[in-house]
Amino acid sequence: MNALKVLSGGAAEGLIKVLAPQFEKLTGFAIEGNYGAVGTMAGLLRGGADADIVVLTSAVLDRLSEDKLLRSGTPGNIGIVETAIAVRTNEHAPPIGSADAVRDAFLQADAIFVPDTKASTAGIHIAKVFVQLGVADRIASRLREFPNGATAMRNLASFDGVHGIGCTQTTEILITPGLHLAGPLPKELALATLYAAAITARSNNLPVAEKLIGLLTADANRDIRTKAGFLSSSS
Protein backbone atom coordinates (compact mmCIF):
# COMPACT_ATOMS: atom_id res chain seq x y z
CA MET A 1 0.00 0.00 0.00
CA ASN A 2 1.18 3.52 -0.78
CA ALA A 3 1.99 5.68 2.24
CA LEU A 4 1.82 9.39 2.98
CA LYS A 5 4.88 10.39 5.00
CA VAL A 6 4.25 12.66 7.97
CA LEU A 7 6.66 14.44 10.30
CA SER A 8 4.74 15.51 13.38
CA GLY A 9 5.19 16.92 16.81
CA GLY A 10 4.16 14.43 19.47
CA ALA A 11 1.14 16.57 20.29
CA ALA A 12 -0.67 15.39 17.17
CA GLU A 13 0.27 11.69 17.29
CA GLY A 14 -2.96 10.57 18.92
CA LEU A 15 -5.17 12.59 16.60
CA ILE A 16 -3.40 11.37 13.45
CA LYS A 17 -3.64 7.75 14.55
CA VAL A 18 -7.36 8.08 15.30
CA LEU A 19 -8.00 9.55 11.84
CA ALA A 20 -5.71 7.09 10.02
CA PRO A 21 -8.41 4.47 9.24
CA GLN A 22 -10.71 7.17 7.86
CA PHE A 23 -7.87 8.55 5.75
CA GLU A 24 -6.90 5.12 4.45
CA LYS A 25 -10.48 4.34 3.45
CA LEU A 26 -10.79 7.72 1.70
CA THR A 27 -7.50 7.64 -0.22
CA GLY A 28 -6.10 4.11 -0.24
CA PHE A 29 -2.94 5.49 1.40
CA ALA A 30 -1.55 4.52 4.78
CA ILE A 31 0.08 7.09 7.06
CA GLU A 32 3.78 6.64 7.75
CA GLY A 33 4.28 8.86 10.77
CA ASN A 34 7.44 10.01 12.50
CA TYR A 35 6.56 11.68 15.81
CA GLY A 36 8.80 13.58 18.19
CA ALA A 37 9.86 16.94 19.57
CA VAL A 38 8.88 19.83 17.34
CA GLY A 39 12.46 21.08 17.03
CA THR A 40 13.67 17.61 16.12
CA MET A 41 11.01 17.17 13.44
CA ALA A 42 11.76 20.58 11.94
CA GLY A 43 15.44 19.66 11.93
CA LEU A 44 14.71 16.45 10.03
CA LEU A 45 12.85 18.39 7.35
CA ARG A 46 15.68 20.90 7.08
CA GLY A 47 18.09 17.99 6.79
CA GLY A 48 16.30 16.61 3.75
CA ALA A 49 13.98 14.02 5.28
CA ASP A 50 11.42 12.61 2.87
CA ALA A 51 8.04 13.91 4.05
CA ASP A 52 4.74 14.94 2.49
CA ILE A 53 3.24 16.73 5.49
CA VAL A 54 4.53 18.35 8.65
CA VAL A 55 2.33 18.89 11.71
CA LEU A 56 4.09 21.36 13.99
CA THR A 57 3.52 24.58 15.88
CA SER A 58 2.38 27.43 13.69
CA ALA A 59 5.43 29.47 14.70
CA VAL A 60 7.80 26.76 13.45
CA LEU A 61 5.79 26.34 10.26
CA ASP A 62 6.15 30.07 9.62
CA ARG A 63 9.93 29.72 9.76
CA LEU A 64 9.91 26.64 7.53
CA SER A 65 7.75 28.53 5.05
CA GLU A 66 10.18 31.45 5.03
CA ASP A 67 12.89 28.94 4.11
CA LYS A 68 10.81 27.69 1.16
CA LEU A 69 10.39 24.21 2.65
CA LEU A 70 6.58 24.27 2.52
CA ARG A 71 4.05 24.69 -0.27
CA SER A 72 2.64 28.19 -0.23
CA GLY A 73 -0.87 28.50 1.14
CA THR A 74 -1.19 24.95 2.48
CA PRO A 75 -1.06 25.32 6.28
CA GLY A 76 -4.30 24.48 8.07
CA ASN A 77 -4.84 25.21 11.76
CA ILE A 78 -5.68 22.12 13.81
CA GLY A 79 -6.12 23.61 17.27
CA ILE A 80 -4.53 24.85 20.46
CA VAL A 81 -2.79 22.51 22.88
CA GLU A 82 -2.19 23.37 26.52
CA THR A 83 0.78 22.32 28.62
CA ALA A 84 -0.43 20.34 31.60
CA ILE A 85 0.38 18.21 34.63
CA ALA A 86 -0.07 14.43 34.78
CA VAL A 87 0.07 11.81 37.51
CA ARG A 88 -0.44 8.06 37.49
CA THR A 89 -4.05 6.90 37.70
CA ASN A 90 -3.43 5.27 41.09
CA GLU A 91 -2.05 8.48 42.58
CA HIS A 92 -3.98 11.45 43.88
CA ALA A 93 -3.55 14.53 41.67
CA PRO A 94 -2.00 17.43 43.59
CA PRO A 95 -3.57 20.90 43.58
CA ILE A 96 -2.16 22.91 40.67
CA GLY A 97 -4.43 25.95 40.62
CA SER A 98 -1.70 28.47 41.35
CA ALA A 99 2.03 28.93 40.86
CA ASP A 100 2.61 28.19 44.55
CA ALA A 101 0.64 24.95 44.29
CA VAL A 102 2.61 23.84 41.22
CA ARG A 103 5.88 24.68 43.01
CA ASP A 104 4.82 22.51 45.95
CA ALA A 105 3.84 19.66 43.61
CA PHE A 106 7.26 19.67 41.96
CA LEU A 107 9.12 19.88 45.27
CA GLN A 108 7.13 16.99 46.74
CA ALA A 109 7.64 14.68 43.73
CA ASP A 110 10.16 11.87 43.82
CA ALA A 111 10.61 12.15 40.04
CA ILE A 112 9.53 14.70 37.44
CA PHE A 113 9.05 13.46 33.88
CA VAL A 114 9.42 15.97 31.05
CA PRO A 115 10.21 16.05 27.31
CA ASP A 116 13.43 17.40 25.80
CA THR A 117 14.00 20.82 27.37
CA LYS A 118 15.88 22.09 24.32
CA ALA A 119 13.88 20.75 21.35
CA SER A 120 10.28 20.12 22.46
CA THR A 121 7.61 22.78 22.84
CA ALA A 122 6.54 21.74 26.32
CA GLY A 123 10.06 20.91 27.47
CA ILE A 124 11.44 24.33 26.58
CA HIS A 125 8.55 25.93 28.41
CA ILE A 126 8.71 23.80 31.55
CA ALA A 127 12.44 24.53 31.89
CA LYS A 128 11.49 28.23 32.02
CA VAL A 129 8.76 27.45 34.55
CA PHE A 130 11.27 25.74 36.85
CA VAL A 131 13.36 28.91 36.79
CA GLN A 132 10.30 31.11 37.24
CA LEU A 133 9.27 29.10 40.31
CA GLY A 134 12.80 29.15 41.72
CA VAL A 135 13.07 25.35 41.87
CA ALA A 136 15.39 24.51 38.96
CA ASP A 137 18.37 23.66 41.14
CA ARG A 138 16.32 21.98 43.85
CA ILE A 139 14.62 19.48 41.53
CA ALA A 140 17.52 18.90 39.10
CA SER A 141 18.44 15.50 40.56
CA ARG A 142 14.84 14.31 40.23
CA LEU A 143 14.31 15.49 36.68
CA ARG A 144 13.82 12.71 34.12
CA GLU A 145 14.09 14.05 30.60
CA PHE A 146 13.10 12.13 27.44
CA PRO A 147 13.25 12.86 23.69
CA ASN A 148 9.53 13.73 23.52
CA GLY A 149 6.45 14.07 25.68
CA ALA A 150 4.90 10.73 24.71
CA THR A 151 8.02 8.85 25.82
CA ALA A 152 8.21 10.87 29.02
CA MET A 153 4.59 10.03 29.83
CA ARG A 154 5.03 6.31 29.14
CA ASN A 155 7.90 6.31 31.57
CA LEU A 156 5.83 8.15 34.16
CA ALA A 157 3.07 5.56 33.76
CA SER A 158 5.55 2.75 34.51
CA PHE A 159 7.32 4.61 37.34
CA ASP A 160 7.46 2.47 40.49
CA GLY A 161 8.30 5.21 42.95
CA VAL A 162 5.94 6.87 45.41
CA HIS A 163 5.24 10.32 43.97
CA GLY A 164 5.79 10.76 40.23
CA ILE A 165 4.63 13.78 38.26
CA GLY A 166 4.83 14.73 34.61
CA CYS A 167 4.54 17.89 32.59
CA THR A 168 3.96 17.96 28.85
CA GLN A 169 1.23 18.80 26.38
CA THR A 170 -2.32 17.67 27.15
CA THR A 171 -2.56 15.60 23.99
CA GLU A 172 0.43 13.45 24.97
CA ILE A 173 -1.04 12.80 28.41
CA LEU A 174 -4.44 11.78 27.06
CA ILE A 175 -3.03 9.09 24.75
CA THR A 176 -0.98 7.43 27.51
CA PRO A 177 -2.64 4.56 29.41
CA GLY A 178 -2.14 4.64 33.15
CA LEU A 179 -2.12 8.42 33.53
CA HIS A 180 -4.55 10.97 34.90
CA LEU A 181 -4.68 14.53 33.55
CA ALA A 182 -4.43 16.74 36.62
CA GLY A 183 -5.08 19.83 34.50
CA PRO A 184 -3.36 22.60 32.57
CA LEU A 185 -0.77 24.82 34.15
CA PRO A 186 -2.34 27.84 35.88
CA LYS A 187 -2.63 31.13 34.04
CA GLU A 188 0.61 32.62 35.35
CA LEU A 189 2.58 29.59 34.11
CA ALA A 190 0.44 28.57 31.15
CA LEU A 191 1.44 27.76 27.60
CA ALA A 192 -1.18 27.25 24.90
CA THR A 193 0.31 26.42 21.51
CA LEU A 194 -1.36 26.51 18.10
CA TYR A 195 -0.62 23.48 15.92
CA ALA A 196 -1.11 23.35 12.17
CA ALA A 197 -0.42 21.05 9.24
CA ALA A 198 1.31 21.96 5.98
CA ILE A 199 2.44 20.19 2.82
CA THR A 200 6.16 20.12 2.17
CA ALA A 201 7.64 21.69 -0.94
CA ARG A 202 9.08 18.36 -2.04
CA SER A 203 5.89 16.28 -1.71
CA ASN A 204 4.74 14.46 -4.84
CA ASN A 205 1.40 13.50 -3.27
CA LEU A 206 -0.34 16.86 -3.22
CA PRO A 207 -3.99 15.71 -3.62
CA VAL A 208 -3.58 12.98 -1.01
CA ALA A 209 -1.79 15.33 1.39
CA GLU A 210 -4.62 17.83 1.01
CA LYS A 211 -7.07 15.08 2.02
CA LEU A 212 -5.20 14.49 5.28
CA ILE A 213 -5.10 18.19 6.11
CA GLY A 214 -8.82 18.30 5.35
CA LEU A 215 -9.49 15.52 7.87
CA LEU A 216 -7.26 17.09 10.53
CA THR A 217 -9.04 20.45 10.25
CA ALA A 218 -12.61 19.51 9.27
CA ASP A 219 -15.54 20.85 11.30
CA ALA A 220 -16.98 17.33 11.18
CA ASN A 221 -13.99 16.11 13.20
CA ARG A 222 -14.13 18.83 15.84
CA ASP A 223 -15.28 16.39 18.55
CA ILE A 224 -12.41 14.03 17.69
CA ARG A 225 -9.92 16.89 18.02
CA THR A 226 -11.42 17.96 21.34
CA LYS A 227 -11.24 14.44 22.73
CA ALA A 228 -7.60 14.28 21.62
CA GLY A 229 -6.84 17.48 23.56
CA PHE A 230 -7.05 20.20 20.90
CA LEU A 231 -8.96 23.36 21.74
CA SER A 232 -10.71 25.25 18.97
CA SER A 233 -8.92 28.01 17.12
CA SER A 234 -9.96 30.31 14.33
CA SER A 235 -8.33 29.47 11.00
- For 160-188, how does the pLDDT look when each residue is reduced to its tens digit (9 = 90+)? 999 999 999 999 999 999 999 999 999 99
Q: Determine the structural domain holding residue 92 and report its residue range.
A: 81-189
Number of alpha helices (DSSP H) and beta strands (DSSP E) in the chain:
10, 9
- Say whether both 88 and 42 belong to one domain: no
- Say whether both 121 and 184 belong to one domain: yes
- For 51-101, how does the pLDDT look when each residue is reduced to its tens digit (9 = 90+)? 999 999 999 999 999 999 999 876 799 999 999 999 999 999 999 999 999
- The CATH number for 215's domain is 3.40.190.10
Half-sphere exposure of residue 210: CA atoms within 13 angstroms, side-chain side? 7
Average pLDDT over residues 203-220: 96
pLDDT for 226:
95
Kindly report the pTM of this predicted structure: 0.90
CA angle 61, 1, 12 (to 5 degrees): 30
Contact yes or no for 55/12 (Cβ under 8 A):
yes
Distance from the Cα of residue 182 to its chain's centroid: 17
Any domain includes 162: yes
Burial class from Cβ neighbours inside 10 Å (0-12, 13-18, 19+) for residue 30 reads middle
Distance from the Cα of residue 74 to its chain's centroid: 21
pLDDT at 227 over 90: yes
pLDDT for 98:
97
State how far the Cα of 29 lies from the Cα of 123, in Å rounded to an integer. Answer: 33
Percent of the chain with pLDDT over 70: 99
- For 33-44, how does the pLDDT look when each residue is reduced to its tens digit (9 = 90+)? 999 999 999 999
Contact yes or no for 202/71 (Cβ under 8 A):
no
Average pLDDT over residues 129-140: 98
Contact yes or no for 211/53 (Cβ under 8 A):
no
Binned at pLDDT 50, 70 and 90, residue 189 comes out as very high
pLDDT for 118:
93
Contact yes or no for 142/111 (Cβ under 8 A):
yes
pLDDT at 1 over 80: no
Binned at pLDDT 50, 70 and 90, residue 234 comes out as low
- Say whether both 75 and 85 belong to one domain: no
Please provide the average confidence, as pLDDT, over all residues in the chain.
Answer: 95
- Say whether both 105 and 180 belong to one domain: yes
pLDDT at 235 over 70: no
Any domain includes 233: no
Q: How many structural domains comprise the chain?
A: 2
